[in-house]
A = this chain, B = another copy of it.
Amino acid sequence: MAAADFRASFELRLPDFNLAPRFEIGPEMAVLFGASGAGKSLTLRALAGLVRPDQGYIRLNGHALFDSEEGIDLPPQDRGVGYVPQHYALFPHQSIAKNVAFGLHDLPNAERKARVSELLARMRLEQLSDRKPGEVSGGQQQRTALARALARRPDLLLMDEPFAAVEEDLRAHLREELLRIQKDFAIPVLLVTHSRAEAYALAERLIVISEGEIVQSASRDDVFRRPRTPTVARLMGMTNILQVKVVDGSGTELLADWGAFRLAIAYSGSRAQGSTLTVGIRPEEIRIAPAGSEAQSANRLTARLAKDEPQGVDHVLQFTVDDQLLEVRVSHPAFMALDLSAGQERTLRVEPESIHVIPDPD
């Protein structure tokens, strides 16, 4: 296995929160994804040296930034880590150019100027170099913060929710720019977000954090397609988590019962008959058959509509199946075509490929 560029494994105990992340990343775009309060910002702050873990290590390119056993705890000044906090924290009384130059005090004058010019040009900020941060737009502020962090040629770049203060319309554009920068600098970039869409759009590696612990760290597609635990599954949008009982685990498809219904599940491993299995189904991967369809063969469920919740251009429908709930998402036109109303019974259908086996129950 090739050595990762950056590894962290530490524990940080706070009065009512315990942070214990463990992950490694290479020179890639890694996204730390989790719910609000999961410990994302705190993790970044620990990596930057702004809070001190109680134990463990943080290693960058083979050097320890922190190691409780060896008694190493480099101050933020000496970590060679670029940090862009959530609201950029630009120095409000200094010009854009001075902000960028702030970390370059130890360079000779000419070199410092050259470096600043280069970065301002790269970030398309030349015209604004004399303005104060309050006088430029949100996207320009973000680019300034990025330029400031990159000026010192860090070996790792940390960014906390960099798109929160940027227009939706601009985000796609800024994301591309960020991906390009990551490739140019060829350093690990760890970016924090609580937006699934953003995680999906950016991540090469996706690191999922929940209640202070890393619950899965893998390629983006791995995490989205094969969540390891129900928590990850839910975070990835698989809101339907079912407990099923294996009936036949020997064939190419696994057969299992969920209450009165039999489900065929695409699964390459094998499972003992009678064992319990956790599976996840995305609400958009459940189809609703038109009124009057039959509901007998496998992967067909009879369900009653309990609630209809319009969400943006979609409808999220809550169905009861026996006494359990299934969430189904349909587009608005499809919903109109189905002519559904609460209390009605319908047949739901799920493809075996849409039922994902979740290996580790929480």
Contact = CB atoms under 8 A, between A and B. Distances in A.
Interface of A: 87, 134-139, 164-170, 173
A87 B87 CA distance: 16
Contacts of A168: 137
17 contacts: A135-B164, A135-B165, A136-B165, A137-B138, A137-B164, A137-B165, A137-B167, A137-B168, A138-B138, A138-B167, A139-B167, A166-B167, A167-B167, A167-B169, A167-B170, A169-B170, A170-B170
A138 B133 CA distance: 13
Contacts of A165: 135-138
A165 B166 CA distance: 11
A64 to B, nearest CB: 36
Counting every copy of the chain, the complex holds 2
Contact of A169 (B136, B164, B169): B169
Nearest to A134: B87
Nearest to A174: B167
Contacts of A135: 164-165
Contacts of A164: 135, 137
A137 B138 CA distance: 7
Interface pairs A-B: 8 shortest CB-CB: A138-B138, A139-B167, A167-B170, A137-B167, A137-B165, A137-B166, A137-B138, A169-B170
Point out which of A138, A164, A173 has the most chain B C-beta atoms below 10 A from its C-beta. Answer: A138
Contacts of A139: 167
A166 B141 CA distance: 11
Point out which of A87, A139, A173 has the most chain B C-beta atoms below 10 A from its C-beta. Answer: A139
A166 B168 CA distance: 12
Contacts of A134: 87
Contacts of A169: 167, 169-170, 173
Contacts of A136: 165
Nearest to A138: B138
A353 B44 CA distance: 64
A139 B166 CA distance: 8
A165 B169 CA distance: 15
A173 B139 CA distance: 16
A306 to B, nearest CB: 25
A144 to B, nearest CB: 13
A169 B170 CA distance: 7
A138 to B, nearest CB: 4
A137 B167 CA distance: 6
Contacts of A137: 138, 164-168
A135 B164 CA distance: 7
Contacts of A87: 134
Point out which of A134, A137, A139, A165 has the most chain B C-beta atoms below 10 A from its C-beta. Answer: A137
A145 to B, nearest CB: 15
Contacts of A138: 137-138, 165-167
A309 B165 CA distance: 36
